[in-house]
Structure 1
Amino acid sequence: MKTILIAAQKGGAGKTTLARNLSVAASLDGQKVLCLDLDPQGSLRAWWEGREVDTPAMLERDPAPHALKATLDAARAQFDLCIIDTPPAHPEWLNEPLEAADLVLIPVRPSPDDLRAVGATIAAVNDAKVPFVFALSQTPRARITEEAARVLAQHGRVAPVNIAQRVAYAETGATGQGVSETTDQKAGAEIAAVWDYVKGILDG
């Protein structure tokens, strides 16, 4: 089982949006996916409880951070992939989940504030010695998106497909769906492309 942790110390970066849509895309690709929500706000779990299908899966209760390793070990026999959502901060306990990940995804909005804030997340991931990828999220069709990609590329890999600013991402947060399950083909295609890119890294 591979483990993806989604982290960004900046609030509103799109962590939960990425977690739920990536988990649906991976499930539709035939992966047995487990989602874990380590964010006290519980947004990923609230979304999952609104779903009408039982994939991806969640446990009856999310583990405490100190119990994460045991939870992952127990899940290996049943799941191919675990996607972990995290809070918009870096509490000390997050170091252990970071070290347990095979890959960290860092969503970043193309704004000066987000680019300034991403340094702390990069430092934490580098300390944990875990591979990571940036994913530009909530992107407008503007020069600032291209500039943000260039800035981020100086620090690590950037997913080649941006997650655009689309109504479908907000709407599916309320309906318990992923955009891959809606009629928004552009949103579905970009999430599928992000998943293909991430899967390629995990399969290494």
Structure 2
Amino acid sequence: MKTIVIAAQKGGAGKTTLARNIAVAASQDGLRVLCFDLDPQGSLRAWWEGRQADTPAMLERDPSPEALRATLKAAHAKFDLCVIDTPPAAPEWLSEALGAADLALIPVRPSPDDLRAVGATIAAVNHARVPFAFALSQTPRAKITEEAARVLAQHGRVAPINIAQRVSYAETGATGQGVTETSDGKAAAEITAIWTYVKGILHG
């Protein structure tokens, strides 16, 4: 079983949006996917509880950070992928979660504030020695998006497709869907491309 941790210490970066959509896309790709919500806000679990489809899966209760590795080990035989959402902060246990991951995926909005704040997340993933990649999220069609990609590329891999600012990402948060399950073809293409990119890293 592969494990992806979605991490960003800046609030509003789009962690939960990325987590749920990656999980749905991977499920549609035939993988047995398990999600953990380690964010006290519980947005990923709230989305899942409003979902009609059986996949991706969640446990009856999310593991505590201390029990994360043991829970992952127990789930290893039943699932192909675990997607873990984390809080917009740097609790002491975050390094434990990152250390259990095969990949850390870091969503970043193309704004000066977000680019300044991403240094703390980069430091955390480097300390945990976990492979990582950036995904630009909530991107406008503007020069600042290209500039942000160039800045991030100095620190690590950047997904070759951006997650644009689209209403469907917000709407599916309320309906319990992934955008790949809606009629928004552009959003679906973005997430499918992100998942293909992530899958290539995990199995490359």
What CA distance in whole angstroms lies between the structure 2 residues aligned with 1:35 and 1:98?
15
TM-score, normalised to structure 1's length?
1.00
Shift of 1:197: 0.3
Alignment of 1:43-82 (within 5 A): 43-82=43-82
Partner of 1:23: 23
Partner of 2:11: 11
Secondary structure at 2:93's aligned position in 1? helix
**Alignment pair present for 1:109 and 2:109:** yes
Any unmatched runs of 5+ in structure 2?
Answer: none
Alignment of 1:161-172 (within 5 A): 161-172=161-172
Alignment of 1:181-196 (within 5 A): 181-196=181-196
Aligned residues: 204
Shift of 1:141: 0.4
What CA distance in whole angstroms lies between the structure 2 residues aligned with 1:6 and 1:191?
15
Shift of 1:93: 1.1
Shift of 1:55: 0.1
Letter in 2 for 1:194: I
Identity of aligned residues (%): 83
Shift of 1:161: 0.3
Shift of 1:28: 0.3
Letter in 1 for 2:44: L
Partner of 1:150: 150
**Post-superposition CA distance 1:130-161 (Å, at most 9, x none):** 00000000000000000000000000000000
What CA distance in whole angstroms lies between the structure 2 residues aligned with 1:45 and 1:192?
22
**Post-superposition CA distance 1:149-194 (Å, at most 9, x none):** 0000000000000000000000000000000000000000110000
**Alignment pair present for 1:202 and 2:202:** yes
Letter in 1 for 2:137: S
What CA distance in whole angstroms lies between the structure 1 residues aligned with 2:147 and 2:114?
13
Partner of 2:86: 86
Secondary structure at 1:97's aligned position in 2? helix
What CA distance in whole angstroms lies between the structure 2 residues aligned with 1:189 and 1:134?
18
What CA distance in whole angstroms lies between the structure 2 residues aligned with 1:98 and 1:190?
25
Shift of 1:60: 0.2
Runs (4+) of structure 1 moved beyond 3 Å? none
Give the root-mean-square deviation of aligned CA atoms. 0.3
Partner of 1:42: 42
Letter in 1 for 2:12: G
Letter in 1 for 2:191: I
What CA distance in whole angstroms lies between the structure 2 residues aligned with 1:95 and 1:140?
32
Partner of 2:174: 174
Any unmatched runs of 5+ in structure 1?
Answer: none
Shift of 1:95: 1.1
Shift of 1:81: 0.2
